[in-house]
Copies of this chain bind each other. A is one copy, B any other.
Amino acid sequence: MHNEKINVAILGASGYTGAELFRLLSHHPYVNLVYLTGEKHANQYIEELFPHFRLINKSFKLIKIEEIDWLKIDLVFSALPHGLIQKIINEIPEKIKIIDLSSDFRLNDSYIYEQWYHHKHEAKEFLSNAVYGLTEINHKYIPSARLIANPGCYPTASLLPLIPLLYSKKIDPKNIIIDAKSGVSGAGREAKQTSLFTEISEGIHPYGISKHRHIPEIEQELSKAFGEKIQISFTPHLIPMNRGIYTTIYVQNAPSITSSDIDKELNNFYKKNEFVVVLPYNSVPSTRHVRGSNYCYISVCEDRVTNRTIILTVIDNLIKGASGQAIQNMNLTYNFKENLGLEAYPLFP
Protein backbone atom coordinates (compact mmCIF):
# COMPACT_ATOMS: atom_id res chain seq x y z
CA MET A 1 0.00 0.00 0.00
CA HIS A 2 1.05 3.51 -0.83
CA ASN A 3 1.70 5.73 2.14
CA GLU A 4 3.22 8.97 1.02
CA LYS A 5 1.17 12.10 1.00
CA ILE A 6 -0.20 13.34 -2.29
CA ASN A 7 -0.80 17.00 -3.07
CA VAL A 8 -4.36 17.83 -3.88
CA ALA A 9 -6.38 20.77 -5.19
CA ILE A 10 -10.15 21.14 -5.02
CA LEU A 11 -11.65 23.26 -7.78
CA GLY A 12 -15.01 24.74 -6.83
CA ALA A 13 -14.86 24.51 -3.05
CA SER A 14 -17.74 26.92 -2.44
CA GLY A 15 -20.54 24.45 -3.20
CA TYR A 16 -21.84 21.58 -1.10
CA THR A 17 -19.86 18.95 -3.01
CA GLY A 18 -16.64 20.89 -2.75
CA ALA A 19 -17.22 21.41 0.95
CA GLU A 20 -17.76 17.67 1.45
CA LEU A 21 -14.48 16.97 -0.33
CA PHE A 22 -12.79 19.41 2.01
CA ARG A 23 -14.43 17.90 5.10
CA LEU A 24 -13.57 14.32 4.18
CA LEU A 25 -10.05 15.00 2.89
CA SER A 26 -9.18 16.97 6.02
CA HIS A 27 -9.09 13.64 7.85
CA HIS A 28 -7.30 11.68 5.16
CA PRO A 29 -3.86 10.61 6.38
CA TYR A 30 -2.21 10.68 2.96
CA VAL A 31 -3.67 13.86 1.53
CA ASN A 32 -2.00 17.21 1.64
CA LEU A 33 -4.61 19.82 0.70
CA VAL A 34 -2.80 22.53 -1.21
CA TYR A 35 -5.44 24.62 -2.96
CA LEU A 36 -9.12 25.36 -2.78
CA THR A 37 -10.58 27.47 -5.54
CA GLY A 38 -13.73 29.57 -5.74
CA GLU A 39 -13.91 32.20 -8.44
CA LYS A 40 -16.51 34.42 -6.78
CA HIS A 41 -15.16 33.83 -3.32
CA ALA A 42 -11.45 34.19 -3.97
CA ASN A 43 -9.64 35.59 -0.92
CA GLN A 44 -12.36 34.47 1.45
CA TYR A 45 -11.59 31.93 4.11
CA ILE A 46 -13.44 28.63 3.84
CA GLU A 47 -15.10 29.22 7.23
CA GLU A 48 -16.65 32.44 5.94
CA LEU A 49 -18.56 30.35 3.43
CA PHE A 50 -19.07 27.37 5.71
CA PRO A 51 -19.07 28.33 9.39
CA HIS A 52 -18.99 24.65 10.35
CA PHE A 53 -15.35 24.63 9.19
CA ARG A 54 -14.20 27.21 11.71
CA LEU A 55 -12.43 24.41 13.53
CA ILE A 56 -10.50 22.77 10.82
CA ASN A 57 -8.09 25.29 9.53
CA LYS A 58 -8.63 28.95 10.15
CA SER A 59 -6.19 30.08 7.49
CA PHE A 60 -7.41 28.24 4.39
CA LYS A 61 -8.14 30.84 1.78
CA LEU A 62 -9.89 30.25 -1.52
CA ILE A 63 -8.04 31.32 -4.63
CA LYS A 64 -8.85 31.65 -8.32
CA ILE A 65 -8.00 28.72 -10.61
CA GLU A 66 -5.49 30.88 -12.48
CA GLU A 67 -3.50 31.28 -9.27
CA ILE A 68 -2.77 27.55 -9.03
CA ASP A 69 0.83 26.50 -9.48
CA TRP A 70 0.19 23.19 -11.16
CA LEU A 71 3.68 21.94 -10.40
CA LYS A 72 2.71 21.58 -6.78
CA ILE A 73 -0.22 19.29 -7.45
CA ASP A 74 -0.58 15.53 -7.99
CA LEU A 75 -4.35 15.27 -8.15
CA VAL A 76 -7.24 17.61 -8.87
CA PHE A 77 -10.81 17.13 -7.75
CA SER A 78 -13.11 19.29 -9.82
CA ALA A 79 -16.41 20.19 -8.20
CA LEU A 80 -17.02 23.00 -10.65
CA PRO A 81 -20.51 23.46 -12.04
CA HIS A 82 -21.28 21.59 -15.25
CA GLY A 83 -19.56 22.90 -18.37
CA LEU A 84 -16.54 24.60 -16.81
CA ILE A 85 -13.88 21.94 -16.45
CA GLN A 86 -14.13 21.15 -20.17
CA LYS A 87 -13.01 24.72 -20.88
CA ILE A 88 -9.80 24.49 -18.87
CA ILE A 89 -8.82 20.84 -18.90
CA ASN A 90 -6.27 21.43 -21.61
CA GLU A 91 -4.35 23.77 -19.34
CA ILE A 92 -3.85 21.11 -16.69
CA PRO A 93 -0.50 19.36 -17.08
CA GLU A 94 -0.85 15.80 -18.24
CA LYS A 95 0.86 14.25 -15.24
CA ILE A 96 -1.91 15.49 -12.94
CA LYS A 97 -4.72 13.04 -12.25
CA ILE A 98 -8.19 14.51 -12.53
CA ILE A 99 -11.33 13.33 -10.77
CA ASP A 100 -14.20 15.34 -12.16
CA LEU A 101 -17.49 15.41 -10.24
CA SER A 102 -19.45 17.20 -12.96
CA SER A 103 -21.17 15.61 -15.93
CA ASP A 104 -18.62 16.92 -18.43
CA PHE A 105 -16.89 13.64 -19.18
CA ARG A 106 -19.44 11.00 -18.25
CA LEU A 107 -20.92 10.48 -21.70
CA ASN A 108 -18.69 8.74 -24.22
CA ASP A 109 -20.52 10.10 -27.23
CA SER A 110 -20.31 13.83 -27.89
CA TYR A 111 -23.42 13.65 -30.06
CA ILE A 112 -25.52 12.41 -27.16
CA TYR A 113 -23.83 14.97 -24.93
CA GLU A 114 -24.92 17.76 -27.21
CA GLN A 115 -28.47 16.44 -27.48
CA TRP A 116 -28.93 16.59 -23.70
CA TYR A 117 -26.80 19.62 -22.85
CA HIS A 118 -27.68 21.79 -25.84
CA HIS A 119 -24.19 23.10 -26.48
CA LYS A 120 -20.98 21.91 -28.16
CA HIS A 121 -18.62 19.94 -26.00
CA GLU A 122 -15.36 21.87 -25.72
CA ALA A 123 -12.98 18.99 -24.98
CA LYS A 124 -14.37 16.07 -26.96
CA GLU A 125 -10.98 14.46 -27.25
CA PHE A 126 -11.14 13.51 -23.57
CA LEU A 127 -14.45 11.69 -23.78
CA SER A 128 -13.15 8.39 -25.04
CA ASN A 129 -10.40 8.05 -22.45
CA ALA A 130 -12.28 9.14 -19.36
CA VAL A 131 -13.13 6.23 -17.07
CA TYR A 132 -16.60 6.25 -15.55
CA GLY A 133 -15.86 6.24 -11.84
CA LEU A 134 -18.50 3.87 -10.49
CA THR A 135 -16.02 2.32 -8.12
CA GLU A 136 -17.37 -1.16 -7.49
CA ILE A 137 -18.02 -1.73 -11.19
CA ASN A 138 -14.96 -0.14 -12.79
CA HIS A 139 -12.36 -0.74 -10.09
CA LYS A 140 -10.10 -2.43 -12.64
CA TYR A 141 -9.94 0.59 -14.92
CA ILE A 142 -9.85 3.36 -12.37
CA PRO A 143 -6.24 3.05 -11.09
CA SER A 144 -4.71 3.62 -14.49
CA ALA A 145 -7.04 6.37 -15.62
CA ARG A 146 -5.78 9.88 -15.94
CA LEU A 147 -9.33 11.33 -16.00
CA ILE A 148 -12.08 9.84 -13.89
CA ALA A 149 -15.63 10.97 -14.61
CA ASN A 150 -17.26 10.55 -11.23
CA PRO A 151 -20.89 9.37 -11.60
CA GLY A 152 -23.95 11.43 -10.73
CA CYS A 153 -25.91 10.65 -7.58
CA TYR A 154 -28.96 9.14 -9.30
CA PRO A 155 -26.80 7.03 -11.64
CA THR A 156 -24.76 5.67 -8.72
CA ALA A 157 -27.87 4.53 -6.87
CA SER A 158 -29.51 3.17 -10.04
CA LEU A 159 -26.54 1.44 -11.64
CA LEU A 160 -25.10 -0.39 -8.67
CA PRO A 161 -27.94 -2.95 -8.60
CA LEU A 162 -28.86 -2.92 -12.27
CA ILE A 163 -25.47 -3.44 -13.92
CA PRO A 164 -24.79 -6.88 -12.37
CA LEU A 165 -28.35 -7.97 -13.10
CA LEU A 166 -28.25 -6.94 -16.74
CA TYR A 167 -24.78 -8.32 -17.22
CA SER A 168 -25.88 -11.68 -15.84
CA LYS A 169 -29.17 -11.51 -17.76
CA LYS A 170 -31.26 -11.90 -14.64
CA ILE A 171 -33.75 -9.21 -15.64
CA ASP A 172 -35.62 -8.13 -18.73
CA PRO A 173 -33.86 -5.15 -20.33
CA LYS A 174 -37.21 -3.64 -21.28
CA ASN A 175 -39.62 -1.95 -18.92
CA ILE A 176 -37.10 -0.89 -16.30
CA ILE A 177 -38.72 1.84 -14.26
CA ILE A 178 -36.66 3.90 -11.84
CA ASP A 179 -38.73 6.04 -9.50
CA ALA A 180 -36.09 8.12 -7.71
CA LYS A 181 -36.23 10.49 -4.76
CA SER A 182 -33.58 13.00 -3.73
CA GLY A 183 -32.75 15.33 -0.88
CA VAL A 184 -32.42 19.03 -1.58
CA SER A 185 -28.64 19.35 -1.30
CA GLY A 186 -28.57 17.85 -4.79
CA ALA A 187 -29.87 21.19 -6.07
CA GLY A 188 -26.75 22.97 -4.88
CA ARG A 189 -26.20 26.11 -2.84
CA GLU A 190 -27.19 28.66 -5.42
CA ALA A 191 -30.00 31.03 -4.47
CA LYS A 192 -33.07 29.82 -6.37
CA GLN A 193 -36.72 30.39 -5.54
CA THR A 194 -37.48 26.74 -6.19
CA SER A 195 -35.00 25.69 -3.49
CA LEU A 196 -36.34 27.95 -0.72
CA PHE A 197 -37.37 26.28 2.52
CA THR A 198 -40.92 27.54 2.02
CA GLU A 199 -41.10 26.03 -1.48
CA ILE A 200 -39.69 22.63 -0.51
CA SER A 201 -40.70 21.73 3.01
CA GLU A 202 -43.96 19.94 3.72
CA GLY A 203 -44.47 18.63 0.23
CA ILE A 204 -43.18 16.50 -2.60
CA HIS A 205 -43.02 16.89 -6.35
CA PRO A 206 -41.20 15.29 -9.30
CA TYR A 207 -39.16 17.32 -11.77
CA GLY A 208 -37.42 16.93 -15.09
CA ILE A 209 -39.76 14.15 -16.20
CA SER A 210 -38.25 12.47 -19.31
CA LYS A 211 -35.69 15.25 -19.43
CA HIS A 212 -33.32 14.75 -16.52
CA ARG A 213 -29.68 14.80 -17.63
CA HIS A 214 -28.79 11.72 -15.63
CA ILE A 215 -30.87 9.62 -18.02
CA PRO A 216 -28.29 9.28 -20.84
CA GLU A 217 -25.60 8.42 -18.30
CA ILE A 218 -27.71 5.64 -16.81
CA GLU A 219 -28.71 4.29 -20.22
CA GLN A 220 -25.13 4.35 -21.47
CA GLU A 221 -23.82 2.23 -18.61
CA LEU A 222 -26.78 -0.17 -18.63
CA SER A 223 -26.39 -0.66 -22.35
CA LYS A 224 -22.71 -1.48 -21.92
CA ALA A 225 -23.51 -4.05 -19.26
CA PHE A 226 -26.21 -5.73 -21.29
CA GLY A 227 -24.57 -5.43 -24.66
CA GLU A 228 -27.54 -3.79 -26.35
CA LYS A 229 -29.19 -0.40 -26.27
CA ILE A 230 -31.43 0.00 -23.23
CA GLN A 231 -34.02 2.67 -22.55
CA ILE A 232 -35.44 3.41 -19.10
CA SER A 233 -38.29 5.32 -17.52
CA PHE A 234 -36.75 7.62 -14.90
CA THR A 235 -38.66 10.04 -12.65
CA PRO A 236 -36.80 12.00 -9.97
CA HIS A 237 -38.71 13.56 -7.06
CA LEU A 238 -37.59 16.25 -4.62
CA ILE A 239 -38.02 15.29 -0.94
CA PRO A 240 -37.97 17.70 2.01
CA MET A 241 -34.71 16.36 3.46
CA ASN A 242 -31.13 17.53 3.10
CA ARG A 243 -29.32 14.37 2.07
CA GLY A 244 -30.17 11.06 0.49
CA ILE A 245 -31.15 9.34 -2.73
CA TYR A 246 -33.81 6.65 -2.81
CA THR A 247 -34.40 4.57 -5.90
CA THR A 248 -37.40 2.30 -6.17
CA ILE A 249 -36.73 0.20 -9.24
CA TYR A 250 -39.40 -1.94 -10.90
CA VAL A 251 -38.13 -4.74 -13.13
CA GLN A 252 -39.43 -7.78 -14.97
CA ASN A 253 -37.52 -10.94 -14.11
CA ALA A 254 -35.81 -12.74 -17.01
CA PRO A 255 -37.50 -16.01 -18.01
CA SER A 256 -37.25 -18.67 -15.28
CA ILE A 257 -35.52 -16.23 -12.91
CA THR A 258 -37.11 -15.56 -9.51
CA SER A 259 -36.78 -12.53 -7.27
CA SER A 260 -34.81 -14.69 -4.92
CA ASP A 261 -32.33 -15.46 -7.73
CA ILE A 262 -31.92 -11.75 -8.22
CA ASP A 263 -31.24 -11.30 -4.53
CA LYS A 264 -28.62 -14.05 -4.66
CA GLU A 265 -26.91 -12.55 -7.69
CA LEU A 266 -26.49 -9.20 -5.95
CA ASN A 267 -25.36 -10.81 -2.71
CA ASN A 268 -22.76 -12.72 -4.59
CA PHE A 269 -21.62 -9.80 -6.69
CA TYR A 270 -21.11 -7.47 -3.73
CA LYS A 271 -20.00 -9.92 -1.09
CA LYS A 272 -16.48 -8.53 -0.90
CA ASN A 273 -17.37 -4.86 -1.05
CA GLU A 274 -17.26 -2.78 2.08
CA PHE A 275 -19.45 0.03 0.84
CA VAL A 276 -22.22 -1.77 -1.03
CA VAL A 277 -24.31 -3.83 1.34
CA VAL A 278 -27.09 -6.12 0.18
CA LEU A 279 -29.68 -6.27 2.97
CA PRO A 280 -31.64 -9.41 3.79
CA TYR A 281 -34.17 -10.39 1.11
CA ASN A 282 -37.42 -8.38 1.29
CA SER A 283 -36.11 -5.87 3.81
CA VAL A 284 -36.49 -2.11 3.46
CA PRO A 285 -33.65 0.41 3.66
CA SER A 286 -34.06 4.09 4.53
CA THR A 287 -31.96 7.03 3.38
CA ARG A 288 -31.48 8.01 7.02
CA HIS A 289 -29.55 4.79 7.58
CA VAL A 290 -26.72 5.84 5.28
CA ARG A 291 -26.71 9.60 5.98
CA GLY A 292 -23.25 11.01 6.38
CA SER A 293 -21.57 7.83 5.11
CA ASN A 294 -20.22 6.33 1.89
CA TYR A 295 -22.44 3.25 2.10
CA CYS A 296 -24.99 2.07 -0.42
CA TYR A 297 -27.68 -0.25 0.93
CA ILE A 298 -29.50 -2.41 -1.62
CA SER A 299 -32.44 -4.71 -1.05
CA VAL A 300 -34.43 -6.99 -3.30
CA CYS A 301 -38.17 -7.47 -2.73
CA GLU A 302 -40.51 -9.86 -4.44
CA ASP A 303 -43.49 -8.15 -6.07
CA ARG A 304 -46.99 -9.67 -5.78
CA VAL A 305 -47.25 -9.48 -9.53
CA THR A 306 -45.73 -12.66 -10.84
CA ASN A 307 -42.21 -12.39 -12.20
CA ARG A 308 -41.71 -8.85 -11.09
CA THR A 309 -39.14 -7.58 -8.62
CA ILE A 310 -38.78 -4.32 -6.74
CA ILE A 311 -35.20 -3.26 -6.03
CA LEU A 312 -34.47 -0.57 -3.46
CA THR A 313 -31.24 1.39 -3.01
CA VAL A 314 -30.17 4.23 -0.75
CA ILE A 315 -27.09 6.43 -0.68
CA ASP A 316 -26.06 9.81 0.71
CA ASN A 317 -26.07 11.91 -2.45
CA LEU A 318 -23.16 14.10 -1.33
CA ILE A 319 -20.95 11.18 -0.29
CA LYS A 320 -21.38 7.91 -2.21
CA GLY A 321 -23.27 9.99 -4.78
CA ALA A 322 -20.43 12.51 -5.16
CA SER A 323 -17.48 13.40 -2.92
CA GLY A 324 -17.16 10.11 -1.06
CA GLN A 325 -17.03 8.05 -4.23
CA ALA A 326 -14.51 10.52 -5.65
CA ILE A 327 -12.25 9.88 -2.66
CA GLN A 328 -12.84 6.14 -2.95
CA ASN A 329 -11.61 6.46 -6.53
CA MET A 330 -8.55 8.38 -5.39
CA ASN A 331 -7.83 5.66 -2.84
CA LEU A 332 -7.97 3.03 -5.57
CA THR A 333 -5.79 5.11 -7.84
CA TYR A 334 -3.03 5.49 -5.27
CA ASN A 335 -3.42 2.04 -3.79
CA PHE A 336 -4.52 3.48 -0.45
CA LYS A 337 -6.85 1.45 1.75
CA GLU A 338 -10.24 1.85 0.07
CA ASN A 339 -12.00 3.34 3.08
CA LEU A 340 -9.45 5.99 4.10
CA GLY A 341 -11.24 9.24 4.86
CA LEU A 342 -14.54 7.39 4.52
CA GLU A 343 -14.67 5.46 7.78
CA ALA A 344 -17.51 7.48 9.33
CA TYR A 345 -20.58 5.46 10.19
CA PRO A 346 -23.97 6.91 9.36
CA LEU A 347 -25.29 9.70 11.59
CA PHE A 348 -28.76 8.93 12.91
CA PRO A 349 -31.01 10.54 13.95
Contacts and interface: CB of A to CB of B under 8 A. Distances in A.
Interface of A: 16, 19, 23, 26-27, 50-56, 175, 177, 179, 181, 184-185, 187, 189-193, 195-207, 209-210, 215, 231-233, 235, 237, 239-244, 246, 248, 250, 274, 277, 279, 282, 284-293, 295, 297, 301-305, 308, 310, 312, 343-349
A215 B303 CA distance: 12
Given A52-B346, A209-B310, A310-B209, A292 B292 contact: yes
Contacts of A244: 202-204
6 contacts: A50-B348, A52-B348, A53-B345, A54-B277, A204-B241, A237-B246
Given A210-B304, A346-B52, A201 B237 contact: no
A312 B206 contact: yes
A55 B293 CA distance: 11
Contact of A246 (B56, B204, B285, B345): B204
A184 B197 contact: yes
A347 B292 contact: yes
Nearest to A241: B202
A223 to B, nearest CB: 14
A52, A190, A243 — most chain B CB neighbours (10 Å): A52
Contact of A288 (B56, B203, B239): B203
A192 B192 CA distance: 7
A200 B196 CA distance: 9
A337 B184 CA distance: 37
Contacts of A282: 209
Q: How many copies does the complex hold?
A: 4
Given A197-B184, A303-B233, A52 B290 contact: yes
A336 to B, nearest CB: 18
A310 B240 contact: no
Given A201-B201, A242-B201, A345 B206 contact: no
Contact of A301 (B209, B215, B231, B292): B209
A344 B347 CA distance: 11
Contacts of A207: 284
Contact of A242 (B16, B53, B202, B345): B202
Nearest to A280: B54
Contacts of A53: 345
B203 A196 contact: no
A29 to B, nearest CB: 12
A291 B204 CA distance: 11
Contacts of A233: 250, 303-305, 308, 310
Contacts of A235: 179, 248, 310
Given A233-B308, A248-B235, A308-B233, A287 B16 contact: no
B206 A52 contact: no
